[in-house]
Structure 1
């Protein structure tokens, strides 16, 4: 097992802080990716264990999608070993691919839980027949607090969502992120000029809509999207050491509830981080919007 120096300090509210902490543990466990200089360029070396075992890396996750009570949450993406990957030309799977996925993911989960993290593989099924990689929800609970795990059969009967090898887009079904954008456009709350809205409403900040990994979708939900709202430039701090501009608190308290009520009026439910979001601690506000599946 590699010793890689001091564990990084975790600072909740800093988006990459949790990612850096989990990535540190992945590398110590011999499971994380490595980058090295080759001929003056950076290249991925892969994990420190045999190449056929695959490798993984941590990706940041909005606090609005963390399990209730968690004080850290990320998504860990695992890529299978090269000799167990699907043939891109023929679509054929090599012998042992399914077993490779099963044993490798079980080993990864056990290793991370040995470091005090909680690991869950929620959401629609993931496997080599449909996907080139797997994703896990990795989070941490305060000492003595039980994790709010979903029932073992929570996703029983679910089919893999797009994109996957069989279906590369949501079409003809609605794309969750695009549906959320339509709600914002209809209320003129995007704050971004484009061909469909060349003169957007001013004074409301602006919103960006992103897709959210399906393993963190709320239970029995659909049309899930991650909405990130940015305040107008005059209400942003220059850096984390700067004073909060005059009027920033009022700008936040007016705009964020307006976005929430707009989605709720359109039949959505809205989740926000348990930690208070505001101009003194944050550059933006995050929301997870979704509709309950009937």
Structure 2
């Protein structure tokens, strides 16, 4: 497969650095895209994947810092794409064998690899997603209860207008609040491997303060508005974000077992 764009992440700053670092390790293990530059027509530079037949390939994707596992020093969502030539009767075995190989390779380099989120189905899914991260010195990966994401529903197969999804409902509630006078607030869906284990839905809420509005106050107002609709909120750990201050937080819903979050603890761990 070829493409005319250079192999860079669309994200900037620390996010771009994290994705680039993991991408380099994927190429070292020969499980990444292994993009090589070739000369295309009309002077264009084309990037071609060099992938062994039957292996499939991996791509590191940006993960918002607010959704990183507690204690993580870096984190990405890893997409694994199977070999397209695998016959349908062999897809299950192909997925299992290659995902085990990818997991073992990354763990040999010191990464924690979790098969988190919704369980992929080789018969219907185009790719699988893994949670890949490194922990900070002295920290251990968080313990996950058995079957932590067994409740996550499959992707929807029907679409309608107007949208009536968890994403659209949360964005609509934010738009109808007083927040537009304080900040521009955008809801972005997250890969299910980034959802907290108890969540029935989770999103990254990005806050852009209005001119003259302090970032911390805009974040606090947005988080309070989200919690007023029955969601939990969580901010990135200070040791991770450092400076500049965070501009996003995690919003998630625990479903029927939801317990409200008090104003005294607006960003529970």
Q: TM-score, normalised by structure 1?
A: 0.74
Within 5 A, what are the aligned runs for 1:163-182?
163=156, 167=157, 169=159, 174-182=164-172
In the TM superposition, what is the alpha-carbon distance from 1:188 to its structure 2 partner? 3.5
> In the alignment, what sits opposite 2:216?
253
Q: Name structure 1 gaps, 5 residues minimum.
A: 1-12, 85-92, 192-200, 236-249
- Mapped to 2, the partners of 1:123 and 1:215 lie a distance apart of 4
Aligned pair in 2 of structure 1 residues 287, 219: CA closer, same or farther (>3 Å)? Answer: same
Aligned residue for 1:45, secondary structure, equals: strand
Aligned pair in 2 of structure 1 residues 173, 100: CA closer, same or farther (>3 Å)? Answer: farther
The answer to whether the aligner puts 1:52 opposite 2:54 as a matched pair is yes
> In the alignment, what sits opposite 1:62?
64
- Mapped to 2, the partners of 1:45 and 1:18 lie a distance apart of 22
State the Cα deviation string for residues 79-125 of structure 1 (Å, max 9, x = none): 111202xxxxxxxx623111110010110011011111100011121
On the 8 A contact 2:65/2:240 being kept in 1, the answer is: no
More deviation, 262-271/180-189 = 180-189
Which protein has the bigger strand share? 2
State the Cα deviation string for residues 10-42 of structure 1 (Å, max 9, x = none): xxx711111111001001111111142341445
State the Cα deviation string for residues 123-181 of structure 1 (Å, max 9, x = none): 1210212210111000111234221141332234x465215xxx255999942221220
In the alignment, which of 128, 142, 149 is matched to residue 148 of structure 1?
142
> In the alignment, what sits opposite 2:227?
264
Aligned pair in 2 of structure 1 residues 80, 42: CA closer, same or farther (>3 Å)? Answer: farther
> In the alignment, what sits opposite 2:207?
229
Aligned residue for 1:184, secondary structure, equals: helix
Alignment coverage as a number of residue pairs: 242
Aligned residue for 2:178, secondary structure, equals: coil
Aligned pair in 2 of structure 1 residues 107, 47: CA closer, same or farther (>3 Å)? Answer: farther
Aligned residue for 1:52, secondary structure, equals: coil
Q: TM-score, normalised by structure 2?
A: 0.80
> In the alignment, what sits opposite 2:78?
76
Question: What is the root-mean-square deviation of aligned Cα atoms in Å?
Answer: 2.7
Q: Name structure 2 gaps, 5 residues minimum.
A: 1-12, 257-269
Aligned pair in 2 of structure 1 residues 159, 185: CA closer, same or farther (>3 Å)? Answer: closer
State the Cα deviation string for residues 173-195 of structure 1 (Å, max 9, x = none): 94222122012112132x4xxxx
> In the alignment, what sits opposite 1:117?
111
Runs of 4+ in 1 over 3 A off after TM superposition: 40-44, 168-174, 276-280
- Mapped to 2, the partners of 1:22 and 1:263 lie a distance apart of 33
